[in-house]
Amino acid sequence: MNSIELQNVSKYFKVNGRRLKVVDGVSFRLEQGRSLALIGPSGCGKSTILSMTAGFFPPDEGRISVSGSLGLCLQDDKLLPWRTVLKNACLPGEIKGAEALAEAKEKASAYLPLFGLDGFEDSYPAQLSGGMRQRAALLRTLIAGGDFMLLDEPFARLDALTKEDLHRLLLRVMERFSPGMLLITHDIEEALEIADEICLLSPRPARVVERLTTPKGEGMPFDPLKHAALKQHMRDVLLAHKTPV
């Protein structure tokens, strides 16, 4: 079984000549087929955790072990400006070869309407809105596949209805292809809807202050009372650790 495991991971950055601790002893394990959401306040170190998991730079302390391939959707959409929506979406397939490219194109034409990008496949990123660019980047990640999807706030700039559509789409992708998913979000409701497990993080330096399994992760049917109580609980935990503004 493929998995991602962080053991006691810490990271420091040099800011103005000072060593700033950004991640503080974070541990979690995610198996393929399961989804884990990281929720924490802005600037706490979430993207840093994801970047280290993706192997962009190593942790200063602790260990990260990854078995399986990764697909990424970063906070900054990173679409190539000189390629159209379709060509951006199919790029990972194109790199793998002709067969993968044909498969990517087939998937892209099936997904484009679901992503509200139908008719924009030949547009360049500069001709799209911020939300459309975000959807195109997510489309590329889903098409590329991989054993795990690492998603950094992929729905942050979307309107509520598009967000709901994409949540459903992501759940269908999870069901059909069973990748593992590491999702960074600020949105408690979103985490409860999509994730099997949630890690609540402290303000910088990010520490896991609570880890919980959602009703979805336990295979329980939706219960509005339990849902509301869990939401309140998570809000209380995050507020208890919040630094006053």
What residue 44 binds from ligand ATP, Mg ion, none (CB within 5 to 8 A, per partner kind)?
Answer: ligand ATP
Residues 131-160 that bind ligand ATP (CB under 6 A): none
- Report the residue number, 165 or 187, with the smaller CB distance to ligand ATP: 187
Residues 71-130 that bind Mg ion (CB under 5 A): 75
What residue 188 binds from ligand ATP, Mg ion, none (CB within 5 to 8 A, per partner kind)?
Answer: none
Give the pairing type, strands 3-15 and 18-31: antiparallel
Please identify, among the stretches 41-49, 85-93, 217-225, 235-243, the one whose residues bind ligand ATP according to the rule CB under 6 A. 41-49
Q: How many Cα atoms occupy the beta-carbon half-sphere of 21 within 13 Å?
A: 12
- Please tell me whether residue 12 binds ligand ATP under the rule CB under 6 A: no
Pick from 95, 133, 91: nearest CA to 116: 133
Binding residue for ligand ATP (CB under 6 A) from 34, 105, 204, 207?
Answer: 204
For residue 103, what are its two tokens? 């498969």
Binding residue for Mg ion (CB under 5 A) from 7, 47, 51, 123?
Answer: 47
